[in-house]
Amino acid sequence: MKIKPIIILSTAALLAACSNNHPVDMTKTTTGTKNSAPENPVGVVAERALTNTLRVPGQLKSFNQVFIFPKVNGFVKNIYVDRGSVVHKGQLLMTLEAPEMEGQLQAATSRYTQAQENAAASKEKYNRLKDAAKEPGSVSPLELDNALARMKADDAIARSEQSNVTSVKAVQDYLNIRAPFDGTITQRNVSPGALVSPGKGADQPMLILQDTRKLRLEVYIPEDFADKIDRKQQVSFVLNAMPGTTHKAKISRAANALSGLRSEAVEIDVENNDDTMKPGMYAEVTVPMQSGVKTLAVPNSAIVRSTEREYVVTVDQGRAHLTDIKEGLAGRDSTEVFGALKPGEQIMTKPSDEVKEGDAVK
């Protein structure tokens, strides 16, 4: 019964001694944490020579391609080709029939024949009056002039009807569908008896003809590199369907304008005499870049990405500044960037998206 009070008093005395020997200043600790600037590792914007090549995807397309539509309404009568047929320029591909065109030609021919007869009769009448006018007083000058005018008018009508017949025959020749160039039929969408009419962009063509002896390798160069490609050197490419075989060719033409994807279309002509390459094949294209061109690079971790922007945090006189950039080629440790940056400028190498414009940087 006497031991318990002694133990309790000893414990209380020990706690009091500890409090006196180790005072805690909570105000000082809280204030120090609040006022100190965040510590962030700082690096610099590096300037380096631009990579010698640019790798971009490409796609093969036929050098010439045409969707064949009829020029007039008609029914498909005969088809002489099918998918895969190799054709030559001017070759008859199919014939159409339009019965109303036969009637138009017959009517035009009849009018022309009648006009010819009228012109011949007017000419004969004028010649007779002209001969009779040699006898003074037999034919009045007015009657002779009227006959001359009638002859000229009938002759003009005959020539007009002749032109009409030629025009109808030309339209009738539209019923014969011929190849506009050498190539291969890659698609056939009609059969004999089908009703066809002049098509629009959204309509299905009767035939699709492609020239596959030469192909176009279409490549889109990003905006940031469009003016840096070296068009004097050859481009190398590997087809995804033919790995291990590298092909080379020179850039043939460029659009000199940016598409909606902010890139420039570039085409490389590719010979395909052995017909091993097919339109639609994809390729990995290595495009040479101009030597001596330099670009800016920052560590990969220095780029802050959000749904609205991409930026790096530059440091100037101990203050943070958010600088918008666009990314170029990305390497293992660094990434090419484009923006209002200068070589040697200080940047945060591991910034947080919580860093705001003007924050103090330690």
The CATH number of the domain where 284 resides is what?
2.40.30.170
Q: State residue 2's pLDDT score.
A: 42
**One-letter identity of residue 311:** Y
Domain match, 279 and 328 both = no
Residue where a domain terminates, one of 173, 194, 228? 173
**How many domains does the chain fold into?**
3
Helix (H, G, I), strand (E, B) or coil at 168: helix
Contact 360, 315 (CB under 8 A): no
Residue 266 has pLDDT above 60, yes or no: yes
Model-level pTM greater than 0.75?
no
Decide if 219 is inside a domain.
Answer: yes
Domain match, 115 and 160 both = yes
Q: State residue 34's pLDDT score.
A: 43
Tell me the residue range of the domain where 138 lies: 99-173
Q: State residue 202's pLDDT score.
A: 65
More confident residue, 48 or 160: 160
Domain match, 232 and 163 both = no
Decide if 71 is inside a domain.
Answer: no
**One-letter identity of residue 352:** S
| pLDDT tens string 2-58 | 444 433 334 343 334 444 444 444 434 344 444 445 567 888 888 876 567 888 999
Decide if 334 is inside a domain.
Answer: yes
Q: Are strands 294-299 and 246-258 parallel, antiparallel or unpaired?
A: unpaired
Domain match, 234 and 281 both = yes
Domain match, 300 and 284 both = no
Decide if 252 is inside a domain.
Answer: yes
Domain match, 284 and 224 both = yes
